Amino acid sequence: MFHKEGHKIIVITLLIVVGGYLLADSFIETTWLRTIIMLVLLVFLILILQFFRNPKRLTQLNDEQVISPVDGKVVVIEEVFEKEYFKEKRLQVSVFMSPINVHVTRYPIGGNVIFSKYHPGKYLVAWHPKASEENERTTVVVENKTYGKVLHRQIAGALAKRIVNYSKVGDTAVQGGESGFIKFGSRVDLYLPLDTKIKVALNQKVKGGESIIAEINE
């Protein structure tokens, strides 16, 4: 199953690959060179298909937990001052996505979308300290009565040239449901209440819609 954001790119890639195969087969007489070109085209197609895959995820709905919004690796767990929306200290958990990860962004909690804003910006590498403030990004805040407010921020990386955000103020967010998509390598930041109990560790691999990032500290 492939994500709708990739349908156009997949069709174009398929046409390029098929055209390349036909041209190589018709005009390149050297067997080894023709084989290499065909293999390169095939690998290119496989990479595109892998990037836009959209596997089903079994989200266990729980208003007391925050789940990972994306696939990737946890690269930041720290207390920071969130400047855009909360304007106070929060726990930041950041997940970095490589180009081979699934890039669907999912709602970390269920509730109501109370804030959604797009920011144009730079394309620094996603792990750069200033990426969350200077890169192209979108900020979404979801609130529910049990957990409170959780902010997740899509951040474009050096390869990501388009962020898609489906969230609009007033929408009902379903935990694990799609909130957006980032095309090519990037990261997502979560900003959580200070009394949150973090359930992941640095460098841990997480799965969007399934891995538990944090829960209410009883």
Q: Structural domain boundaries of the chain?
A: 4-51, 65-215
User: Which listed residue (68, 94, 132, 186) is catalytic?
Assistant: 186
Question: What would the DSSP string read from start to end of 78-90?
Answer: EEEEETTTT-EEE
> Is-catalytic flag, 179?
no
CATH topology classification for 65-215: Glucose Permease (Domain IIA) (2.70.70)
Report d(CA 44, CA 46) in Å as an integer. Answer: 5
113-165 pLDDT tens trace: 999 999 887 656 655 556 566 678 899 999 999 999 999 999 886 555 578 89
Q: Residue 24: its pLDDT value, please?
A: 85
Pair of tokens at residue 204:
């841990």
pTM for the full model?
0.83
pLDDT tens for 67-126 read: 999 999 999 999 999 999 999 999 999 999 887 888 889 999 999 999 999 988 765 665
